[in-house]
Amino acid sequence: MDPRNDPWCVLRVRSRFEQLVRAHLSGRGFEVFLASRIVRRKLSTQIKTIELPLFPGYLFCRARLSQRRELALTPGVLYLHANGTARECAITESEITTLQTVTSSPIPYESGELVNSGHPIQVLNGPLLDLRAFLVEGANPRRIAVTLSALQQSVFIQLPEGTEVMSILGGTTSVRVPA
């Protein structure tokens, strides 16, 4: 059986153990994804760039139902998220693909509270091509949100000037994001 067809699971891990658990599971042959962000911190005499988890305390891992016990017994793992029955994983393939697209793009992003309202759009050009998200209403017309229902959080993305988006509801009108 091809492991790329296994469902994704959300692992809740001990605080600041994300990298250690990722290395441990990867070494055991699991496909693991740690969503991260780059942060610049000013020290007394220098500015240091560090990689931090986008969702502290959470990892994503592909695993069959028969492997879930092995995941749960991994040092640093607190528990596995599940929707409804224990057979269902807490995150979909499309949510992982979207998260991987966002974190691999050069466009600024950050996590925050769950947003599932706003105008649904699809990005028509640039590094986020075909990404589906919500246009966040407010002072900044270039901010969109991708929701992760399993974590009850969203990822907010600042679209660059010239990005074209299309309304998913009703029309096929293309809108150019203003500067």
Domains and CATH numbers, the chain: 3-80 (3.30.70.940), 101-176 (no CATH)
Long-range contacts of 53-56 (CB under 8 A, 24+ apart): 53/18, 54/103, 54/109, 54/110, 54/111, 54/155, 55/111, 55/148, 55/151, 55/153, 56/15, 56/16, 56/18
Strand positions, DSSP E, the chain: 8-13, 32-33, 36-42, 47-53, 58-62, 77-80, 109-113, 119-123, 132-135, 143-148, 153-158, 164-167, 174-176
pLDDT of residue 69: 92
Question: What's the pLDDT tens digit per position in 21-47?
Answer: 999 999 999 999 999 999 988 888 899
CB contact at 8 A, 175 and 122: no
Least confident of 39-53, 78-92, 157-171: 78-92
pLDDT-derived band at 171 (thresholds 50, 70, 90) equals low
Q: CA-to-CA distance for 75 and 18, rounded, in angstroms? A: 11
Q: How many other CB atoms sit within 10 Å of the CB of residue 31? A: 14
Output the CA–CA distances (angstroms, integers) from residue 69 to 51, 79, 148, 166, in the order listed.
Answer: 29, 10, 24, 43
Q: How far out from the chain centre does Cα 152 lie? A: 12
- Confidence check: pLDDT of 169 > 90: no
Whether 51 has a pLDDT exceeding 80, the answer reads yes
Interacting residues of 80 by C-beta distance below 8 A, sequence separation 6+: 9, 10, 11, 12, 68, 71, 72, 90
Output the pLDDT for position 27. 97
Per-residue confidence band for 90, with pLDDT thresholds at 50, 70 and 90? confident
pTM for the whole thing?
A: 0.87
pLDDT at 145: 95
The pLDDT tens digits for 2-14 are 667 899 999 999 9
Give mean pLDDT, residues 115-119: 84
Query: What pLDDT score does 118 carry?
Result: 85
